[in-house]
């Protein structure tokens, strides 16, 4: 498979490294509007062809698939162009900045017959895969209640760099620069994590978003820091279960933790991804009567990168698909609408 890397910022290095390590995958081109950044990236990953736009790359056309690692607001036009050109697409999340555009992309991809998948990176956790398997097997009975959180701390710590001075952070804090804040950045991950892990779909959302004061005048240079930093959601699932979903970038002491607890009528499962490490515990059977939790073993799983390559080779889209990402975007849109309306919003 010949792969084009579209966008060469920080996350593109993960795409290039992971795809480049798969047998039979060749990184044949890179695209970026920043010629210096593009040249450095291509030299680092041994990529020969360099293009200043998706249009130039498509005019050349000697590739099978695109890894779209552009900023959020650029996903829609660039992916639609790639679909129109008959290319498979592996897109970073969110698929688009609103559900309407995301569903348009999903429908266009499905009509094309090509493979379209979205990089919900925490699907790579073997704990969430095994935990979902337990839930779907009926091991905890019908799900009654779900608790989910995604906690990061880069607004209060410098472990990933200084957000006050680095554009890779500042754009994520500015709606004018295409960011929908923590809701879109990490919220999309925890909504997918909670829904996928529990095997449930969200039906209604009551959401609250919060932007904290972070700089004098609420701005640093050209960046107005108006995107949300934290959110909470109360949700109803289509099954009748209820739950809470929350995320923040201000959780001191938590570098990157996703935690999911799924409580059923006969047992419970806890799934944790914490900065690369996965754990899974369950309270099942007679242990329910003593509130005893036990570790559950799991095996390694394929990454989304490996699954995308397998899907292209088989000619059949695997999850997480464009349609899945569009449906998750509906939940995020409902949370934003609820924050404005101060009412429960249906999906």
Q: Which domain holds residue 202?
A: 126-300
Query: For 122-163, how does the pLDDT look when each residue is reduced to its tens digit (9 = 90+)?
Result: 999 999 999 999 999 999 999 999 999 999 999 999 999 999
Query: For 254-310, how does the pLDDT look when each residue is reduced to its tens digit (9 = 90+)?
Result: 999 999 999 999 999 999 999 999 999 999 999 999 999 999 999 999 999 999 999
Q: What is the pLDDT of residue 10?
A: 85
Q: What is the pLDDT of residue 224?
A: 98
Asked whether residue 288 is assigned to any structural domain, the reply reads yes
Q: Which of 115, 133, 254, 109 is nearest to 190 (CA)?
A: 254
Phi, psi of 301 (to 5 degrees): -125, 160
Q: What is the pLDDT of residue 190?
A: 98
Is the same domain home to 90 and 232? Answer: no
Q: What is the pLDDT of residue 178?
A: 83
Q: Which of 304, 260, 264 is nearest to 280 (CA)?
A: 260
Which residue ranges of the chain lie beneath pLDDT 50? none
Report the CATH number at residue 237.
3.30.360.10
Is the same domain home to 162 and 194? Answer: yes
Is the same domain home to 143 and 76? Answer: no
Report the CATH number at residue 39.
3.40.50.720
pTM: 0.94
Whole-angstrom CA distances from 121 to 46, 55, 287 are 24, 28, 32
Evaluate whether 51 touches 60 at the Cβ level (below 8 Å): yes
- Overall number of domains in the chain: 2
**H-helix or E-strand spanning residue 127:** helix 126-136
Is the same domain home to 94 and 209? Answer: no
Whole-angstrom CA distances from 338 to 104, 135, 145, 256, 291 are 23, 30, 21, 26, 36
Q: Dihedral, CA atoms, 184, 190, 193, 199, nearest 10 degrees?
A: -90
Is the same domain home to 64 and 205? Answer: no
Asked whether residue 331 is assigned to any structural domain, the reply reads no
Is the same domain home to 185 and 86? Answer: no
Is the same domain home to 175 and 93? Answer: no
């Amino acid at each position: 498979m010949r792969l084009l890397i579209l966008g060469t910022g920080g996350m593109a290095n993960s795409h290039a490294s992971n795809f480049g390590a798969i047998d039979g995958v060749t990184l044949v081109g890179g695209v970026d509007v920043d010629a210096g950044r593009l040249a450095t990236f291509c030299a680092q990953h041994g990529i020969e062809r360099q293009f200043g736009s998706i249009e130039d790359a498509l005019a050349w056309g000697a590739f099978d698939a695109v890894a779209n690692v552009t900023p959020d607001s650029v996903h829609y036009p660039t992916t639609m162009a790639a679909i129109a050109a008959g290319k498979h697409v592996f897109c970073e999340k969110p698929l688009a900045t609103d559900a309407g555009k995301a569903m348009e992309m999903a429908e266009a991809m499905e009509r094309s017959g090509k493979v379209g998948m979205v990089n919900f990176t925490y699907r790579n956790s073997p704990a969430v895969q095994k935990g979902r398997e337990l839930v779907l097997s009926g091991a905890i009975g019908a799900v009654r209640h779900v608790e989910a959180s995604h906690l990061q701390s880069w607004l209060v710590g410098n472990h990933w760099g200084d957000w006050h001075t680095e554009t890779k952070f500042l754009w994520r804090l500015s709606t004018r620069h295409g960011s929908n804040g923590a809701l879109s950045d990490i919220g999309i991950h925890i909504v997918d994590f909670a829904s996928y892990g529990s095997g449930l779909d969200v039906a209604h959302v009551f959401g609250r978003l919060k932007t904290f004061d972070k700089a004098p005048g609420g701005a640093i240079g050209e960046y107005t820091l108006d995107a949300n930093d934290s959110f909470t959601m109360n949700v109803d699932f289509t099954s009748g279960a209820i739950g809470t979903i929350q995320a923040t970038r201000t959780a001191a002491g938590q570098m990157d933790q996703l935690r999911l607890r799924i409580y059923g009528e006969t047992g419970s499962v806890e799934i944790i991804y914490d900065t690369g490490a996965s754990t899974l515990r369950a309270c099942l059977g007679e242990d329910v009567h003593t509130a005893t939790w036990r570790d559950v073993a799991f095996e390694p799983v394929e990454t989304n990168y490996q699954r995308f390559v397998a899907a292209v080779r088989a000619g059949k889209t695997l999850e997480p698909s464009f349609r899945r990402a569009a449906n998750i975007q509906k939940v995020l849109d409902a949370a934003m609408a609820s924050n404005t309306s101060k009412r429960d919003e249906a999906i």
